Amino acid sequence: MTPDKKPKKGKRKIRDSGERDIMDSRKAKTKDTSKVKRSKSGGTVAPLPADLRGPDTEWWYAFLSKHAELHKDAFSGGNAPVPSDEEEAFRYFFRTSRRTFDYICSIVRDDLISRPPSGLINIEGRLLSVEKQVAIAMRRLASGDSQVSVGAAFGVGQSTVSQVTWRFIESMEERARHHLAWPDQERMEDIKARLEAMSGLPNCCGAIDATHVIMTLPAVESSEDWCDPAKNYSMFLQGIVDDEMRFIDIVTGWPGSLTVSRLLKYSGFHKLCEAGKRLNGPVRVSGEDAEIREFIVGGMCYPLLPWLMTPYEGENLSAPMVNFNARQKAARMLGTRALARLKGSWRILHKVMWRPDKNKLPSIILVCCLLHNIILDCKDELLSDIRLPDHHDTGYKEENCKQENPSGKVMRETVTGHLPTFEAVLN
């Protein structure tokens, strides 16, 4: 179906991982180069003695001291937002362990050394270390705080925060792409097996969902293109995730005024699926000898397609339909939880962005997705309170696409009829 109206073409940068063929080398090896001493006190984070610190930890202790100075009650114990344990405090501020942080530094080190932004000299007259530059950029992305606020916590100016963050984003966008790639067939078979064990859906390859990144725009740039149904100016992020909530495909750069179904149709992923170049792996055979092709699952805002299974609608659904909906939801919620974790971890995507450059915003979104995946690939753990307490798109009503492809209906009926057979095998 041809869209009634396409958004106006501007200089908007579209990030669509479905249009790229990127090697998947997620299993990047990392090396634990530092062992962190944990504080046993209930008050402040206890720094390590100088002779036990690694060579590049000075910035961390200076940051802790500055943060304590700016927020005198932050380490007072009780219900303090910052953990007193040093390793957990590091995760609180930068979302990663020191080991994963060191790995991220290794990705961007050459770029930050060989092409440093101009004027990166701190108030002590020394060049900023790679570690401090990465910390500044990751704190800006993790907190969503203003450049002035982040700069104050590191003893640098607003301009330095801006330069450092953008140089980090440029380097990550180029050097860390292998952490967000469509899986090869061997990896996909593992994903399908785990999703089937979790939900019972055969040949399911992942879950799709979308969210709005809200922003303010100057009056001269405001237009209906960017004004979404909630009356916010926003940019879309569509993500497809695997069984571990890892992003394996994203689309961003499109204005929030689009419907979710139209966003899907404009994506490179849709084009590849329709051309038979994606979700084209081995078929499964149902108990009735019907073929079940590879597919992903999505909510009611998406069309029912042969490769995209959505729930049954209406009241008085049959028992098999109810069973399918429950199992489809179990898999589909992986996408919802992944976006909630993404925006909870990298709060710059959750807060209202103040007049962002719409050409640069897709790169910021992409790098946040890369950092999300790196944390998973490095087997890192987030603090339990990082995920958003509410839905990732609070304030938006769920759309209802109501488009049902005839072949998609047949495919959904085949999967639905297969589920009791699968249950019998399990029992």
pLDDT per residue over 344-379, tens digit each? Answer: 999 999 998 888 888 899 999 999 999 999 999 999
pLDDT grade, residue 121 (50/70/90)? Answer: low
In a domain, 21, yes or no: no
Instruction: Note whether residue 28 is domain-resident.
Output: no
Judge whether 296 lies within some domain. Answer: yes
Q: Where among 175, 210, 243 does a domain terminate?
A: 175
Q: Is 58 exposed, middle or buried (0-12, 13-18, 19+ CB in 10 A)?
A: middle
Are 300 and 347 part of one and the same domain? yes
Domain range for 54: 50-175
413 and 301 assigned to the same domain: yes
CB atoms near residue 111 (< 10 Å): 17
Q: Say if CB 205 and CB 188 are below 8 A apart.
A: yes
pLDDT at 146 over 60: yes
Whole-Å CA distances, 65 to 61, 69, 153, 193, 199: 6, 6, 9, 48, 48
Among the candidates 118, 149, 175, a domain finishes at 175
What is the pLDDT at residue 424?
Answer: 53
CA distance 137 to 156: 12
Residues 146 and 203 in one domain: no
More confident residue, 72 or 395: 395
pLDDT surpassing 50 at residue 198: yes
387/342 Cα distance (integer angstroms): 8
| 94 touches 142 (CB < 8 A) | yes
Residues 396, 319: one domain?
yes
Token pair belonging to 387: 């995920």
Question: What's the average model confidence in pLDDT over 3-12?
Answer: 46
- What CA–CA distance (Å, rounded) separates 417 from 189? 22
- Same domain for 271 and 206: yes
Q: What CA–CA distance (Å, rounded) separates 285 from 309?
A: 17
Q: 205 φ, ψ to 5°?
A: -105, -5
23 belongs to a structural domain: no
Range scoring the smallest mean pLDDT among 31-35, 288-292, 344-348, 388-392: 31-35
Residue 298 and residue 183 in one domain: yes
Q: How confident is the model at residue 50 (pLDDT cuts 50, 70, 90)?
A: very low
Q: Are residues 71 and 185 in the same domain?
A: no
**pLDDT of res. 81:** 67
Distances (CA, A) of 159 to 290, 327, 350: 61, 50, 23
Residues 117 and 216 in one domain: no
Give the pLDDT mean for 229-258.
95
User: What are 260-297's pLDDT values in tens digits?
Assistant: 999 999 999 999 999 999 999 999 998 788 999 999 99
Instruction: Please check whether residues 212 and 347 belong to one and the same domain.
Output: yes
Cα–Cα distance for residue pair 278/261, rounded to 1 Å: 18
- Same domain, residue pair 144 and 229: no
Same domain, 78 and 162: yes
For the chain, give the mean pLDDT: 83
Verify that 170 and 215 share a domain, yes or no.
no
Residue 85's CB is within 10 A of a number of other CB atoms, namely 17
Predicted TM-score (pTM) of this structure? 0.85
15: in domain: no
Judge whether 309 and 205 are in contact, CB under 8 Å. Answer: no
Is the pLDDT at 194 greater than 50, yes or no? yes
Residue 232 included in any domain: yes
Question: Per-residue pLDDT for 32 more than 50?
Answer: no
- Contact assessment for residue 379 and residue 287, using Cβ atoms and an 8 Å cutoff: no
Residue 2 lies in a domain: no
User: Into how many domains does the chain fold?
Assistant: 2
The pair of structure tokens assigned to 369 is 């997705």
What's the rounded Cα separation, in Å, for the pair 42 and 118? 42
In a domain, 372, yes or no: yes
End position of a domain, from candidates 154, 175, 196: 175
Q: Who has greater pLDDT, 262 or 23?
A: 262
